[in-house]
Amino acid sequence: MNNIKSRKRKNRNFSRRTGVAGFKHRRNRAKKNTATIDPRRLIKRAVATELTEFSPSQSFDQMPIDFKLKANLRIKGYTYPTQIQQETLEFLNHGRDLVGVASTGTGKTAAFLIPIINQLLNKGRNNKALIVVPTRELALQIEEEFKSLTRGLRLFSSTFIGGTSVGRDISKLRRESQVIIGTPGRLLDLTNRGSLRLKEISVLVLDEFDRMLDMGFINDIKKLLRSMTSRQQTMLFSATIDTTQKSLINSILSNPVEVSVSSGNSPSDNVEQDVIRVPPEQDKFNILLNLLEGESFEKVLIFAETKRLVDKVSKRLNQSGVATELIHGNKTQNYRSKALNKFKKGQVQVLVATDVAARGIDVIDITHVINYQIPLTFESYIHRIGRTGRAGKIGKAFTFVDAA
């Protein structure tokens, strides 16, 4: 990380008091937070537990997959399937509807892309699949994975997301595409214009279904479903399934197989959580700088409640020599994609984001999540800290709290 941080700030005093962090600083920038979460709920040390690791029963080469797709899997270094991939492939290859309960980091994207590609290679390129996702970032990540899995196979995809030109999207729809990827709002817009003909779709994927519900997309999804008169198979993936969602899911899918896969630990198990109390006479931003000097703070996601504060924190970090990018709803899609790509590649140490903009971020090696303010809801807090501690790694989450 020496190439990222260009300065070392000295003479900062970091002390541990009764399990939380305290600092000495100069100016008072503390602001009142409207959240009602009890900070004591945000402190829970992770306890090491013995895990039962998944052991695949066969390699991809041994699975019923087209040989050309197997070759691309080998190029990508995919030798053995993850649990969600192994337990769903046979059902999906036979055309069954499926509900997959799996979080990010379990390989769920390949779990639905592999059978879709396999069907296209075996049943003909006239079949079409639609993948609906909650965020622009997730749509672009799926498109990238699809392209890498179909290199040289003459299978094509098109992605339709908000923040891009509708005219260009209409032009893209004139090109050959076997897989359509998009967010509900833009897909519905193109459908209403008559440019996207959903009656040609035979396979539907609803990815991160719980988040689409959280973000209020259910009515858009229902409208899209009514236009899919030729739908033969539906896959629904979600990190969680609430009992209240069962009737809705059963109205979308037909006699689905249910596969539930744990990522290994829950966020509270594989994320070490702590609060940092900020007395009125201390400067929260200087505390943040002190934290980021730690050698373990390699890839840090910082959450702020407003777009304005995201801009402010990002600007001050860059001015202080910490390589930082930001994403929020006022930034163009092109800007957000470039910022996220820099963060994923380690070209910047820090990404500052709002809750909504961060949804769909799939970066498995985030070392720390920092809440610059207490989240407004506990559910938001859980979503935030779930960005770290993935793929069997231990992550850390810090939350700034104004001391009384």
pLDDT in tens, 348-387: 999 999 877 676 677 888 999 999 988 877 767 877 888 8
pLDDT, residue 279, reads 86
| Domain stop point among 203, 232, 260 | 260
| Domain stop point among 207, 238, 260 | 260
* Strand order through the sheet with 20-23: 14-17, 20-23, 271-278, 395-402, 368-371, 300-303, 350-353, 324-327
- What b/e sequence results for 242-260 when a residue is b if at least 16 CB atoms lie within 10 Å of its CB, and e otherwise? eeebeeebeebbeebbebe
pLDDT, residue 335, reads 87
Range of the domain at 309: 14-50+266-402
pLDDT, residue 330, reads 84
pLDDT tens for the chain, residues 1 to 404: 444 444 434 333 333 333 334 333 333 333 444 554 555 555 554 333 334 567 889 999 999 999 999 999 999 999 999 999 999 999 999 999 999 998 767 889 999 999 999 999 998 777 899 999 998 888 999 999 999 999 999 999 999 998 889 999 999 999 989 999 999 999 999 999 999 999 999 999 999 998 888 778 999 999 999 999 999 999 999 988 877 788 999 999 999 999 998 654 455 568 899 889 888 888 999 999 999 998 889 999 999 988 999 999 999 999 999 999 999 878 887 888 899 889 999 999 999 998 776 766 778 889 999 999 888 777 678 778 888 887 778 899 999 988 75
Query: Can you tell me the distance from the alpha carbon of 169 to that of 167, in angstroms, rounded to the nearest whole number?
Result: 5
Domain co-membership, 366 together with 382: yes
CATH number at residue 142: 3.40.50.300
pLDDT, residue 10, reads 36
| Domain stop point among 260, 282, 314 | 260
Domain co-membership, 230 together with 126: yes
Domain co-membership, 25 together with 130: no
Domain co-membership, 121 together with 34: no
Per the CB < 8 A criterion, the answer to whether 106 and 83 are in contact is yes
pTM beyond 0.75: the answer is: no
Per the CB < 8 A criterion, the answer to whether 64 and 318 are in contact is no
pLDDT, residue 359, reads 65
Domain co-membership, 93 together with 242: yes
Taken as a whole, the chain contains a residue count of 404
Query: Can you tell me the distance from the alpha carbon of 313 to that of 288, in angstroms, rounded to the nearest whole number?
Result: 10
Domain co-membership, 122 together with 256: yes
Number of domains in the chain: 2
Query: Can you tell me the distance from the alpha carbon of 183 to that of 250, in angstroms, rounded to the nearest whole number?
Result: 22
pLDDT, residue 15, reads 35
Domain co-membership, 218 together with 274: no
Domain co-membership, 255 together with 297: no
Domain co-membership, 307 together with 331: yes
